[in-house]
Structure 1
Amino acid sequence: MNPVLPIVDFTSPDAPRAFCESLHRTGFGVLKNHPLSSELVHGIYDEWLRFFQSGDAQKYTWDPVKLDGHFSTAVSETAKGNDIRDFKEFFHLFPWGRYPAEVSDAARRYYGLGKELAATLLKWVEDNSPEDIRSKYSVPLASMIDDCEETLLRVLHYPPLNGEQAPNSIRAAAHTDINLLTILPAATEPGLQVMGTDGVWIDAPSDFGLLIVNIGDMLEEASGHYYPSTQHRVLNPVGEGAKKSRVSLPLFLHPRREIKLSERYTVGSYFEERMQELRRKG
């Protein structure tokens, strides 16, 4: 067991407290025996890896307005404070967006199940917040994600390292998530690291079947920084691992735009400020 990111049994009576304590200390929590089916996740990983490797993803080039569809390695993200693109490709899935005909509806089903679980976890977060922190939430945390059309399921493919990537690029440079909460099943390969409170990078547990949950910037803002949005990254593999793809499945839980995050921001104003930062950088 990782001493910094303890693994919490979802079925334990003490799970809500222990999980939220980990979120408060590190910005991350790790769950086992959670209700998201490992069989479902494994099937999504397998079929979407084939989808990316076949080249079919290129039929669904990303929409610059709606932001759904396929983002190739050529247009991949550049982390805030970095000037080199991450070496990855991904597909953005929204309930209203395009969905590839080449794969089953498994990712759609996972989206719904993930949102249900997220509502439970957000209730845990609120119930285990100190009273002075809980009083800051403008509405119950779980209700913030109700009917939000911006909650995003991203299917990520990190290709094998083939020498085509830019010098000094890594699979995902250090960053925080902008949203409320992110839930992430353990990926097909290790590599995820979390910044500890001492500034030292630590490996996140990577056993298949675990569920990794992290705080996003919006929940940090809403909680007055009680729950920290912690930097994390995905390192390049070495040795035989460099020849393997890595697939992961983060679900980014977004609150509705009109929700008041804090005295300073609504969700909409917070999001627009961040987008303007990225546009200026671009």
Structure 2
Amino acid sequence: MKSIPHIDMSLYGKNFEAFAQTVGEGYEKNGFVALTNHGVDQGLIDEALDICRDLFALPEEVKKQYHIPGGGGARGYTPFGTEIAKDAKHVDLKEFWHVGREVEGEPPYPQLTPNVWPKEMPEFKTKILRLYEALDDLGMQVLDALAVYLKQPREYFRDKVQLGNSILRPLHYPPIIDEGTPSVRAGAHEDINVLTLLIGSREPGLEVLAKDGSWIPVTIIEGAIICNVGDMLQRLTNGVLPSTTHRVVNPPAPFNSKSRYSIPFFLHFNPDFVIDPLESCISDDNPKRFEAIGSHDFLLERLREIGLVK
């Protein structure tokens, strides 16, 4: 793998069968693809990245007002040096803010807790929720294609993720002050969720682990959205679609003296969905590898491993 495959999202409306095959093959091979012609307005993306830069520029004492102790980082602010990759020895060099699904009235699941908004920046809510909705819709289109590729009805995922506790995570990796630090911006890890859609970053650092053990830099593809398989989808597909290891390395000069900003969207199953490998993904060559587990139970198990839930 020299680079991740590029998927033209305009095929969704032009030739869905071909689109589904291309998407499925891309993920089965790599677990990572770059979505082009995705329909998410570039102005919306730029606005979101710019306002996230302003958010993290707020004074430390202001940001910490929006940290919820014991909340597992589910909403609001998580300070620098909190999260650690599974099995890693050193914390990641990042701070972030979590925005969840906005629901009207009584939430259908207790996990859909109210969002936390910085009162110093009233426009943050409007701009970030617009991006949340756009990425939620885009993820749904990718899942439509994967459903068909996995020999399921096209709408298979629609009623299994529409009320998921999906998270938009504005991220800030500050400049690397200590070049000898054993920590990296994000240690090697796999994502917990169903799909991750990543906008930004405008700076280098993201790398994907290839099957031959080499690390492949994901070059900054103008206008593309990176989209990868998470552990929940890997379990559901019995490993047919791999959740690929990736990391954000500390970049060389002059990039190490600058902050890095990105915004991943973590698409989740509904909290009561049971992740049990699909029959279409089980065969003599690929016997059942995973036991059934509720999606929320799986999430909690993994959040404990990365230090967000004690």
Flag whether TM exceeds 0.5 (same fold). yes
2:34 corresponds, among 30, 47, 53, to: 30
Q: How does 1:107-118 map to 2 (within 5 A)?
A: 107-118=128-139
The offset of 1:166, in angstroms, is 8.1
CA distance in 2, matches of 1:255, 1:182: 12
2:118 corresponds, among 92, 95, 100, to: 100
Cα separation, partners in 2 of 1:161 and 1:60, compared to 1, 3 Å: same
**TM-score in terms of structure 2 length:** 0.81
**Which digits, 9 at most, give the CA deviation of each residue in 1:85-138, with x for residues without a partner?**
000110011232112231521111111111111111111111112x3xx49x9x
The offset of 1:44, in angstroms, is 1.1
Cα separation, partners in 2 of 1:63 and 1:144, compared to 1, 3 Å: farther
State the secondary structure of the residue aligned to 2:40: coil
CA distance in 2, matches of 1:91, 1:34: 25
1:146 matched to 2:152: no
CA distance in 2, matches of 1:231, 1:188: 21
Q: How many residues align?
A: 273
Q: Which residue of 1 aligns with 2:288?
A: none
CA distance in 2, matches of 1:280, 1:187: 24
8 Å Cα contact 1:45-1:188 kept in structure 2 = no
Amino acid at match of 1:73: F
8 Å Cα contact 1:159-1:244 kept in structure 2 = yes
The offset of 1:268, in angstroms, is 2.7
Cα separation, partners in 2 of 1:74 and 1:141, compared to 1, 3 Å: same
CA distance in 2, matches of 1:171, 1:246: 9
**TM-score in terms of structure 1 length:** 0.89
1:273 corresponds, among 285, 301, 309, to: 301
More moved, 58-67 vs 194-203: 58-67
8 Å Cα contact 2:34-2:227 kept in structure 1 = yes
More moved, 47-56 vs 102-111: 47-56
CA distance in 1, matches of 2:217, 2:307: 32
8 Å Cα contact 1:188-1:208 kept in structure 2 = no
CA distance in 1, matches of 2:55, 2:309: 32
**Which digits, 9 at most, give the CA deviation of each residue in 1:168-195, with x for residues without a partner?**
1110000001111111123121111101
Q: How does 1:161-176 map to 2 (within 5 A)?
A: 161-163=176-178, 167-176=181-190
2:146 corresponds, among 116, 125, 130, to: 125
Cα root mean square deviation, aligned: 2.4
Q: Which residue of 2 aligns with 1:213?
A: 227
1:45 corresponds, among 49, 58, 61, to: 49
Query: Which structure 2 segments of 5+ residues have no match?
Result: 103-113, 277-290
8 Å Cα contact 1:115-1:253 kept in structure 2 = yes
CA distance in 1, matches of 2:20, 2:214: 27
CA distance in 2, matches of 1:47, 1:234: 22
8 Å Cα contact 1:261-1:267 kept in structure 2 = yes
8 Å Cα contact 1:84-1:166 kept in structure 2 = no
**Which digits, 9 at most, give the CA deviation of each residue in 1:212-262, with x for residues without a partner?**
000010000001111000000001111111111111010101111211211
8 Å Cα contact 2:147-2:157 kept in structure 1 = yes
Q: How does 1:69-84 map to 2 (within 5 A)?
A: 69-75=76-82, 77-84=83-90
Amino acid at match of 1:205: T
State the secondary structure of the residue aligned to 2:275: coil
1:156 matched to 2:155: no
Query: Which structure 1 segments of 5+ residues have no match?
Result: none
Q: Which residue of 1 aligns with 2:286?
A: none
CA distance in 1, matches of 2:309, 2:161: 29
